[in-house]
């Protein structure tokens, strides 16, 4: 652990106000790409890397980090924990303890997060203390330099601000739309993010799904959420996932589901009651209503039989570590039918979503050019 290079705060659009925390696990190629992007377009931002990979990966990551002398990086290694999801929350808490900035943002090791987007979020939170988090437009991307020399984009989340003054109302509305609206990778106050993650660790919840719902529930109880009309983050659509999160159908089929769901509702209702001052039975009713909205959406999405079959097959393949058998046909389909599949624009680095054009258009274009250039190497 240690800072590998000092940096010039004036080079960053948000100076020492926000730290980028990058958790990584056995994906050195993605970490190298993300650091390459930040060294080119996000210089000046303090970065903390939380690495729980194996020894071979950690050696590779240290060599990569040492090659980016322009970045201010603190590198931290972690053993894989017996906690759910390998102790992910504890790993992030440990990393955040090394941060000295008021704000922080989590960025997956395969994400390209927009510097100006972070800056706008920090400015908003500074001027609106009743908001818990702020973020912007997330887009999936994929590059294909061999067949069409194209870059594809697709919106990830609907992106709605949650501005109602009643925390119970925010909780019910938010979970009924989750994960269409998400909060995990938004800009947070560092102290609050540590608090939220610590509550998840203390919860005793074992399912990744319920731990995720608990964390986002705490967030919207504590404050409003803002979704700014700025390009915020490009997420790799084709990267392999460290761990597949089971869907609600799989979870409900397990023997532990009932106890886990009841524990989740109980502790979230207790948090809501303590924070808002509601009677326990009123808080429990609000949480039950919120979870009912989430489970109805998760179990009864408007999907065709073919879509459900594909999703089921994908889950089975990933569970058997055969994700490549799904990814290769999917990429072939996109190559053959790019317009019909995801509106791939050959050789273009622009996108119009709901007739919106972002003030930080350069961030979007830079991310696109960076991805395409990397795909040619």
Per-residue model confidence as pLDDT tens digits over 137-184: 998 887 765 555 567 777 788 778 999 999 999 999 999 988 888 899
Find the mean pLDDT for residues 104-124. 94
Name the CA dihedral angle for 272, 273, 276, 278, rounded to a multiple of 10 degrees: 130
What pTM did the predictor assign?
A: 0.82
Are the CB atoms for 278 and 168 separated by under 8 Å? yes
* Average pLDDT estimate for 42-61: 91
**Where are the chain's structural domains?**
9-240+346-375
Contact indicator for 120, 186 with CB cutoff of 8 Å? no
> Rounded distance, CA 82 to CA 94, Å?
16
Question: What is the distance between the alpha carbons of residues 331 and 333, in angstroms, rounded to a whole number?
Answer: 5
Predicted local distance difference test score (pLDDT) of residue 282 = 95
Q: Does domain 9-240+346-375 have CATH number 3.90.550.10?
A: yes
Residue 303 has what pLDDT? 53
Nearest CA to 138 among 162, 156, 118?
156
CA angle 295, 138, 249 (to 5 degrees): 20
**Predicted pLDDT at 357:** 63
Residue range 233-256, pLDDT digits in tens? 999 877 665 555 556 777 787 888
């Amino acid at each position: 652990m240690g800072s590998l290079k000092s940096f010039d705060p004036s080079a960053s659009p948000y100076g020492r106000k926000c730290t980028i925390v990058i958790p990584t696990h056995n994906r050195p190629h993605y970490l190298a790409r993300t650091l390459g992007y930040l060294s080119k377009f996000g210089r000046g931002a303090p970065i903390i890397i939380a690495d729980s990979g194996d020894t071979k990966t950690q050696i590779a990551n240290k060599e990569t980090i040492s090659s980016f002398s322009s970045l201010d990086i603190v590198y931290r290694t972690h053993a894989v924990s017996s906690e759910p999801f390998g102790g992910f929350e504890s790993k992030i808490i440990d990393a955040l303890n090394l941060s000295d900035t008021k704000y922080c943002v989590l960025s997956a090791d395969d994400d390209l997060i927009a510097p100006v987007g972070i800056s706008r979020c920090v400015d908003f939170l500074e001027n609106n203390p009743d908001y818990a988090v702020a973020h912007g437009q997330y887009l999936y991307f994929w590059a294909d330099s061999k067949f069409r020399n194209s870059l594809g984009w697709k919106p990830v989340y609907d992106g709605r601000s949650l501005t109602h003054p009643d925390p119970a109302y925010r909780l019910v509305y938010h979970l009924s739309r989750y994960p269409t609206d998400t909060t995990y990778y938004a800009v947070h106050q560092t102290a609050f993010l540590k608090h939220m993650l610590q509550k998840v660790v203390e919860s005793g919840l074992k399912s990744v799904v319920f731990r995720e719902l608990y964390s986002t529930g705490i967030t919207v109880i504590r404050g409003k959420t803002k979704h700014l009309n700025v390009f915020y983050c490009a997420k790799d659509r084709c990267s392999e996932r460290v761990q597949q999160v089971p869907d609600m159908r799989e979870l409900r089929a397990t023997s532990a589901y009932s106890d886990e769901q009841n524990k989740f509702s109980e502790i979230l209702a207790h948090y809501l009651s303590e924070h808002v001052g509601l009677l326990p039975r009123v808080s429990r009713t609000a949480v039950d209503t919120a979870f009912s909205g989430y489970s109805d959406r998760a179990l009864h999405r408007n999907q065709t039989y073919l879509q459900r079959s594909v999703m089921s097959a994908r889950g089975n393949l990933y569970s058997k570590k055969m994700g490549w058998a799904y990814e290769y046909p999917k990429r072939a389909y996109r190559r053959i039918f790019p317009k019909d599949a995801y509106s791939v624009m050959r050789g273009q680095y622009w996108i119009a979503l709901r007739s919106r054009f972002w003030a930080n258009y350069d961030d979007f274009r830079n991310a696109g050019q960076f991805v395409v250039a990397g795909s040619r190497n």
